[in-house]
């Protein structure tokens, strides 16, 4: 019996117009009414999740949560209390930023609420900020306050430039970070032990659920870890091949109400 459904956002919950369709909304409401906890599990910062939580009428009670920044932060959706988090070392961030010098790319990073960048703004950076619905804040790392907690960093550039960077990453990146290519134009640097699967496992344990009672729905490389730990894993029809290979089930695409289909097929009766 499914008691918790973890749903990725971009490419999964949201269609290509970045909207939650009526069919998906209805399925999520029915799952909630059946007593199933709905947890958005996203690479987005929580600031870029608020409007969707409100639209989906989440939270329902004090034990509703959101997993943001690809598993680095877990928060209550009633009080925004952080109940679980990982953070990045400032010195390691500075080392990582130096790698962008030969490339046309931005280095960005996030605390709980803000989207920071260190160099000159680019069209790709603006595109990403617009997608998240966030104002970008220029804050060079040499001016980074010592008490500012950084949960995630990113290289943002064209696919070609990121391919060049990815092919020459030094060993300290893997030593200090968990790097993951979440989008064609984004290479993320997460804290070493942080990922969606680890955060989802911790949250399920906190709520008293076994992983056999957890469903995870996703489409991208950053969903791989939660696919591996969930008892019921569902790849979107538009998912990358690595997700489809690991997932136990495959649903329709995000343009075809795939999340709704997955909920009715493997969690509740329509």
Instruction: Give the residue numbers marked as catalytic.
Output: 8
The Cα 171–Cα 194 span in angstroms is 18
Q: Torsions phi, psi of 157, nearest 5?
A: -165, 180
Q: For the chain, how many residues are written?
A: 270
Sheet with 152-156, edge to edge strand ranges: 136-138, 115-117, 106-110, 152-156, 186-191, 177-183
SS3 86: coil
C-alpha distances out from residue 206 to 31, 42, 64, 78, Å: 20, 19, 12, 17
């Amino acid at each position: 019996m499914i008691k918790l459904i973890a749903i990725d956002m971009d490419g999964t919950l949201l269609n290509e117009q970045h909207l939650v369709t009526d069919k998906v909304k209805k399925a999520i409401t029915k799952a909630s009414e059946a007593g199933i906890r709905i947890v958005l599990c996203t690479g987005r910062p929580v600031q870029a999740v608020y409007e969707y939580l409100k639209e989906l009428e989440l939270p329902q009670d004090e034990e509703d949560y959101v997993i943001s920044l690809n598993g680095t932060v877990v928060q209550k959706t009633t009080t925004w209390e952080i109940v679980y988090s990982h953070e990045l070392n400032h010195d390691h961030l500075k080392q990582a930023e130096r790698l962008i010098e030969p490339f046309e790319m931005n280095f960005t990073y996030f605390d709980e609420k803000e989207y920071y960048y260190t160099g000159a703004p680019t069209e790709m950076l603006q595109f990403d900020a617009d997608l998240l619905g966030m104002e970008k804040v220029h804050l060079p790392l040499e001016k980074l306050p010592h008490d500012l907690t950084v949960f995630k960093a990113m290289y943002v550039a064209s696919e070609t430039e990121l391919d060049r960077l990815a092919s020459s990453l030094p060993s300290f990146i893997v030593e200090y970070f968990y790097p993951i290519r979440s989008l064609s134009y984004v290479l993320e640097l997460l804290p070493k032990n942080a990922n969606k699967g680890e955060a989802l496992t911790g949250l399920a344990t906190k709520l008293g659920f076994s992983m056999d009672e957890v469903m995870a729905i996703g489409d991208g490389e950053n969903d791989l870890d939660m696919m591996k730990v969930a008892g019921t894993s569902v790849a979107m029809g538009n998912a990358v091949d690595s997700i489809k290979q690991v997932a136990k089930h495959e649903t329709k695409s995000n343009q075809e109400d795939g999340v709704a289909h997955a909920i009715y097929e493997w969690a509740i009766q329509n």
